[in-house]
């Protein structure tokens, strides 16, 4: 038995954890900090941590009612119908559901370059093909309708990321509306707001619902996750908010029990923990401002919980920073050579990252 032809497929490159890096280098894990995967430096919402402990005795049951409760709570948060909320195993899982619901064999998806790798991977799993639009480094990765529409060629899904990973740039609701307007009726514009809580721009849910002066649209879907601002990357919980026209497709494409009992309980507790989210967002704002002010190299303005830094030989810089105990992301895998991405840490972590990157840049010069 052989798998089907997977030569077009690549494996997702998840960042390595502290334990793994320390083991490989024969060092003590306590010597390292990891600012490579845009995780929450304050950990999970404390309310969610309690809920997870309490949930232990419930995991022999399937997550039927908690699933519904969480969907209702998310729907309340956005003032949408619960049927418009597609719960999933992380934002990645929600992307897969959108691919399953929308893509026919040989359809294409249009993705940003540089950009988040899973858009293309998900399309390929679902027998689609991938095309790219360029976000120009010289233009600070500005996301403009022109950049997207020039490359657009009847693609079935167009991905926008706001804030964009790895640059931190955002896209206005007016620009998203223009893109949706000027693409075919059969094209779905997916706005990935995985880092939405950290940004000043409003959520594109307003475009689906027709609020704040916008006309309601049925060709936009939003992606959100509990992995970042809520600190629940390890439980794998995310969702899409979709227009009414897509709502019914969920039941036909989702995996039975799309989110685990533990994820549902953690999510239910976390969604009401505004204090944790506010603290996390404030830490990220301080951290990214500090990086911009103190790193001796170009740092792009970011609205996410990370900052993109121009460093020249990114692999060498990331490797040397790791040797000095600070694990960051080499952006070559995003299709962006010459840059590293540093996740916003606590004040102490951020200061250490800044000192380390400056020292490494000076030493490698
Ligand atoms: N979109 C973007 C832009 C991301 O960076 C990530 C996480 N790396 C995701 C979506 C998916 O996150 P998760 O599956 O953890 O919800």
Q: What pLDDT digit, counting tens, does each position of 120-144 carry? A: 999 999 999 999 999 999 999 999 9
Residue partners of 247: CB distance under 8 A and separation at least 6: 81, 83, 84
Pocket test for ligand 1, best of 15, 143, 159, 225 (most atoms within 8 A of CB): 225
| Å from CA of 81 to ligand 1 middle | 24
pLDDT at residue 191 in the model: 98
Report, as an integer, the average pLDDT of 293-311.
Answer: 98
Which has the closest alpha carbon to 37: 90, 89, 88? 90
Q: Which residue has the higher pLDDT, 236 or 12?
A: 236
Mean pLDDT, rounded, for 3-18:
87
Atom of ligand 1 nearest to the CA of 238: 16
CA–CA distance, 107 with 126 (Å, rounded to integer) = 9
How many CA atoms does the CB half-sphere of 257 hold within 13 Å?
12
| Interatomic CA distance for residues 111 and 119, integer angstroms | 7
Segment 97-114 shows an average pLDDT of 96
The alpha-carbon radius of gyration of the chain (Å, integer) is: 20
Does residue 15 register a pLDDT over 90? no
Q: Which among 239, 270, 301 is the end of a domain?
A: 270
* 126 and 261 inside one domain: yes
Its domain, for residue 134, covers 46-270
Q: Which residues does ligand 1 sit against, CB inside 6 Å?
A: 90-92, 116, 161, 165, 192, 194, 225, 227, 233, 238
Ligand 1 atom with the smallest distance to the CA of 228 is 15
Domain-embedded: residue 11 = no
Together in a domain, 22 and 94: no
In CATH, what number is assigned to the domain containing residue 27? 3.90.1150.10
Are both 196 and 61 inside the same structural domain?
yes
At residue 124, the pLDDT reads 94
Residue ranges of the alpha helices (H) in 126-169?
145-151
* In-domain check, residue 53: yes
pLDDT for residue 54: 95
**Residue 11: band (very low, low, confident or very high) from pLDDT cuts 50, 70, 90:** confident
Is 278 a domain residue?
Answer: yes
pLDDT beyond 90 at 356: yes
What is the whole-number distance in angstroms between the Cα of residue 224 and the centre of ligand 1? 8
Check pLDDT > 90 for residue 64: no
Domain boundary among 240, 270, 300: 270
Boundary (domain end) residue, out of 270, 289, 311: 270
Cis bond leading into 45, ω under 30°? no
Cα distances (Å, whole numbers) of residue 124 to 72, 89, 149, 165 = 32, 19, 22, 20
Rounded distance from Cα 123 to ligand 1 centre (Å): 15
Number of domains, the chain? 2
Model pLDDT for residues 244-292, shown as the tens digit of each residue: 999 999 999 999 999 999 999 999 999 999 999 999 999 999 999 999 9
Tell me the percentage of the chain whose pLDDT exceeds 90: 93
- CA–centroid distance, 91 to ligand 1, in Å, is 6
Q: How close is the Cα of 194 to the center of ligand 1, in Å?
A: 6
Do residue 336 and residue 347 come from a single domain? yes
Q: Give the pLDDT confidence score for residue 16 in this predicted structure.
A: 87
Query: Same structural domain for residues 222 and 337?
Result: no
State yes or no: pLDDT of 365 exceeds 90.
Answer: no
What is the pLDDT of the chain when averaged over all its residues? 96
- Residue 14 is predicted with a pLDDT of 81
The answer, yes or no, to whether the previous bond of 18 is cis (omega within 30 of 0) is: no
The strand pair at 306-310 and 329-330 is best described as unpaired
For residue 227, give the DSSP letter: S
CATH, residue 57: 3.40.640.10
| Confidence grade of residue 309 (pLDDT, cut at 50, 70, 90) | very high
pLDDT of residue 316: 97
pTM of the model: 0.97
**Whether pLDDT at 334 is above 90:** no
Same domain, 206 and 346: no
The pLDDT value recorded for residue 254 is 94
pLDDT reading at 65 higher than 90 = no
Q: What's the pLDDT score for residue 8?
A: 84
* Amino acid 57: pLDDT: 92
């Amino acid at each position: 038995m052989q798998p089907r032809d997977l030569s077009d497929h690549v494996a997702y490159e998840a960042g390595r954890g502290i334990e793994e890096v320390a083991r490989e280098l024969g060092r003590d894990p306590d010597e390292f900090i990891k600012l490579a995967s845009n995780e929450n430096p304050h950990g999970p919402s404390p309310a969610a941590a309690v809920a997870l402990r309490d949930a232990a005795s419930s995991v022999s049951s399937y997550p039927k009612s908690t699933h519904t409760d969480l969907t209702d709570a998310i729907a309340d948060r956005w003032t949408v119908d619960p049927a418009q909320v597609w719960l999933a195993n992380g934002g990645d899982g929600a992307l897969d559901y959108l691919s399953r619901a929308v893509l026919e064999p040989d359809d294409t998806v249009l993705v940003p370059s540089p950009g988040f790798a899973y858009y293309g991977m998900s399309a390929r799993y679902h027998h689609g093909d991938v095309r790219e639009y360029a976000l120009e480094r010289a233009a600070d990765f500005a996301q403009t309708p022109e950049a997207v529409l020039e490359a657009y060629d009847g693609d079935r899904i167009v991905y926008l990321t706001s804030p964009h990973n790895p640059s931190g740039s955002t896209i206005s609701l007016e620009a998203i509306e223009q893109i949706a307007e000027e693409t075919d009726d059969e094209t779905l514009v997916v706005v990935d707001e995985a880092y939405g809580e950290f940004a000043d721009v409003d959520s594109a849910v307003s475009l689906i619902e027709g609020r704040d002066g916008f006309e309601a649209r049925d060709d936009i879907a939003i992606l959100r996750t509990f992995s970042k601002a809520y600190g629940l990357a390890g439980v794998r919980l995310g969702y899409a908010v979709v227009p009414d026209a897509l709502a019914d497709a969920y039941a036909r494409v989702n995996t039975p029990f799309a989110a685990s009992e533990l994820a549902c309980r953690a999510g239910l507790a976390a969604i009401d923990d505004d204090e944790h989210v506010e603290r996390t967002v404030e830490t990220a704002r301080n951290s990214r401002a500090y990086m911009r002010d103190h790193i001796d190299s170009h740092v792009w303005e970011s609205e996410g919980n990370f900052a993109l830094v121009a460093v020249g030989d990114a692999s060498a810089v990331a490797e040397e920073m790791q040797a000095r105990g600070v694990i960051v992301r080499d952006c070559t895998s995003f299709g962006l050579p010459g840059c590293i991405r540093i996740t916003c840490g606590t004040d102490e972590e951020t200061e250490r990252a800044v000192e380390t990157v400056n020292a490494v840049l000076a030493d490698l010069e």
